[in-house]
Structure 1
Amino acid sequence: MKMTARKMAALVQEHLDQPSLDFHFDREKDTLRIEDKQLKKGLTLELPKVIAKWEESKEKALDEITYYIREALKAMNEPQALSEKEKSVFPVIRSTSFPEKSNEGVPLVFEEHTAETRIYFALDLGTTYRLIDQQILQREGWTIKRIKETASFNVRSLPTKWKEDQVAGNIFYFLNQNDGYDASRILNDSLLKSFEEKVTGTMAVAVPHQDVLIIADIRNETGYDILAQMTMSFFASGRVPITALSFLYENQELEPIFIMGKNKRS
């Protein structure tokens, strides 16, 4: 039997099984709004993405999704002090289609990154994180400059352990720590420079979803096709997709690569 958005909404509600929550299914947008009745705060699930994960791993996917929902709602219940958790402020990469406001309508703190990506800022809470909005800044007396500098410093402190794969004469490096900030490491300039020094072909970078950073040493035309297919595959399977495009890295700048058919790029 085919899984529909309505059926998935019912499954999520059943798995959460919390009388303190309100659920609203939007059949036009295929979303499920989950709110804490007392706080009047919550989050919205895009059900087609949930269905895609469910089709891959069924109950495991549901357990993972409902776990993150519970943790996110718990974080909303707890006031967070930035000054007490300065080492827990990190940048997170998102697509340019990502909302600019929280579900409560408060503007989120972000800056432009590339034509495909933006940099948002998050307070790490251990098992989840909370995106920083203007209300938090005002309450804590922080400036946007301070948030950026703190997040930039902290992302450089993250571990950088890589897996390497060679395909058709090209080398691909994968960072997948699953700490929520794998894609954020694209902002570690010293890390990218270190790869630039050892790459012998053309250096390309990809952040298809939140939990992976790919760096490629493209040594022949086939490498572009492999990178495009690889990035699209990661993008389709990611819990928080970012972009299916890759980027050339030259002179400390990221330039999107458009690959149109076999071995054609612009």
Structure 2
Amino acid sequence: MDAGAGTVEDTSTNAACGWINLASGMDGCERIEAFFSGQAYEPHRHDTYAIGRTISGIQRFHYRGQVSDGVPGTAIILHPDELHDGQAGTEDGFHYRMIYLDPALVQQAIGGRRSLPFIPGGVSDDPRLLKAIDGMVAHMSEPMERLQYDDAVYDLAHALQAADPRAGAPYIATPDYRAADRARAYIRHSEGEPISLEQLEQITGQDRWKLSRDFRTVFGTSPYRYLTLRRLDRAKAEIVKGMPLVQAALDAGFADQAHLTRHFRNAFGITPARWRRLLTD
């Protein structure tokens, strides 16, 4: 892929200049390649893993009370629902490839019996992780076959589990994975309609508060956050198709464009208008 092709310059005040290419994605995984100089993303959090490699430059971010640098030769692994930002560590900017992976796929691959793997500091040079990540980001312009993708998810999930310093620690409590996954599936197919915890209790047969705790343990975020992010997924898809922002907001279940913008910035660190400008053909 030509990293410079289709560069879009953002001229808004104090914004980074750069571009974003949306690579071929798969169910449960979004892949992007991007370049930014200066401040790229405001503090935000999303309900997926953000996993990738810095191709050139320094990708600097604040994460869990510290400043971390992603540089060539290392991997970036940001846990779901953890606050972080993003900016260039030098004047040269940074070029990177990233996947946003649904935690449900990781849980399915590792058996759904414990909390999600966590990598302290958000940066790792673990060779197992580097190899597994490269299996998904090395050739971003090429679509992945279904079996190839499933194998890559399996390899990445187990590399994450092996690199987690808590690996091998005894369970404190076993979450009800089946109930949590049933609730996740119900929310995912709700088309953004309002849902109550009482409804999820009825659907799963699990006490609502245990279900809420187990959902967080298994998928790294709350049921309502998960619902909000699915609405944002729908809005992003509409924006890519050229839908006006106000219509994309309403179709996805938001009250208005301002409601969409607030949640979009909180989830992705940029406004939907700026995200649309950064996209490349």
Instruction: Give TM-score scaled by structure 2 length.
Output: 0.25
- For CA contacts below 8 A with separation 6 or more, give which structure has more relative contact order: 2
Q: Which has the higher helix share?
A: 2
Structure ID, larger Rg: 1
Q: Which has the higher strand share?
A: 1
Instruction: Give TM-score scaled by structure 1 length.
Output: 0.26
